[in-house]
Amino acid sequence: MKDLTFGTLLAVFEEIFGPFLFWAMVAVAILVTLLYIFVLFRDREVSWRKFLWAQLSMPVGAIAAVLFVQGMTRSGFADIGGPIDVVVLLGVATAGAIGAAILVYTLESLLWPPADRHQ
């Protein structure tokens, strides 16, 4: 792999996860992102209680993402070979943590919307 292009990344991700799972994950990520934006516009403010629960879910999301990717690639922690592997692992954990926080905040806001405030 000489050049890192968008097409190359798509091919690698489709090879790792399979085309169906990869595109299903992309669709779910887009859906959750759109729902998150909807919730932010609808509520017009951040609920700090929901935000706290979302932050508390971040370590779970990070661990789940790392374990998921290692399961899909059939590798383990003993297979980490160099600094780039650690960087990729930290990137996966960061993406999982952020994704979990957005998912939890969105689900909380959709399930328990704020009470109407008449002004």
DSSP string, 24-83: HHHHHHHHHHHHHHHHHHHHSS--HHHHHHHHHTHHHHHHHHHHHHHHHTT--GGG--SH
Residue spans per domain, the chain: 6-111
Long-range CB pairs of 26-32 (<8 Å, 24+ gap) are: 29/99, 32/99, 32/102, 32/103, 32/106
pLDDT in tens, the chain (119 residues): 577 889 988 998 898 889 999 999 999 999 999 999 999 999 888 888 999 999 999 999 999 999 999 988 888 888 888 888 889 899 999 999 999 999 999 999 999 988 765 44
For the stretch 21-46, pLDDT in tens is 999 999 999 999 999 999 999 988 88
Q: Tell me the backbone φ, ψ of residue 95, rounded to 5 degrees.
A: -65, -40
